[in-house]
Structure 1
Amino acid sequence: MSRARVFEWFKRFKEGSSAVESDEREGSPSTSRNEEIIQKIQTAIQGNRRLTIMEISNEFQISFRSVQTILTTDLGMRRVAAKFVPKLL
């Protein structure tokens, strides 16, 4: 943790705040990893397991990294012999 962050937290607690969570951040929330997109990607992969991450990224207009995260984390898949398969195989 940086020194500046320590001073900021010290000031917060000195003023009486007891919450350890960070404040809400400005900006729009991430929309590329929602249930609708995850289901669409799962359907696309089940239809053609040889799709590349770049092809999926272009088709659904989301970033390459978001597609990677959806496939590996949300759907529990990995690439085996140029196909996406569940990690248990």
Structure 2
Amino acid sequence: MLCEVYGEEFLSRARVFEWHKWICSRREDVVDDGRSGRPTSSSKIENVEEIDKIIRQDRRLSVRGVAEMVNIDRKSVHKILVENLKMKKVCAKMVPKNLTIN
């Protein structure tokens, strides 16, 4: 009956039972609890240093190539390069975003 009345915008049966349990336990917060799971460990200092060393040896390596060398996900390697090492791709080379004159 709920499907007929509300169409696609109704809660699933499991979600209704979950909300009922929350309400019965006098829980007012509807935000999800923290979950145990795989921690984000790809941006550890050791990995950042290793990626920095690899890129400084050969700036023409692709993100995929670096990811295979350090055995980390490609998106995580890209995030480390952009956010941690402050690099961007210029003419097929990874270089610091703020170039300095030496």
Same fold (TM over 0.5): yes
Counterpart residue number, 1:78: 88
- The aligned counterpart of 2:10 is none
Matching residue of 1:18: none
Residue 57 (structure 2) aligned to one of 19, 22, 47: 47
Q: Greater Rg, structure 1 or structure 2?
A: 2
- Please list every run of 5 or more consecutive structure 1 residues that lacks an aligned counterpart in the other structure: 1-6, 13-21
- TM-superposed CA distance for 1:28, in Å, is 2.6
Does 1:59 pair with 2:75? no
Q: Of the two structures, which has the highest relative contact order with CA contacts closer than 8 Å and spacing of 6 or more?
A: 1
TM-score of the superposed pair, with normalisation by structure 2: 0.65
Which residue in the other structure is 2:97 paired with?
87
RMSD in angstroms over aligned alpha carbons?
2.3
How high is the TM-score relative to the length of structure 1?
Answer: 0.73
Percent identity, aligned pairs only, is: 34
1:27 aligned partner: 37
SS for the counterpart of 1:28 is coil
Deviating beyond 4 angstroms after TM superposition, the runs of 4 or more aligned structure 1 residues are none
- Separation in 2 of the partners of 1:51 and 1:83? 8
* Gap regions ≥5 residues in structure 2: 1-18
- How many residues in Structure 1 have an aligned counterpart in Structure 2? 76
Q: Does structure 1 residue 11 correspond to structure 2 residue 28?
A: yes
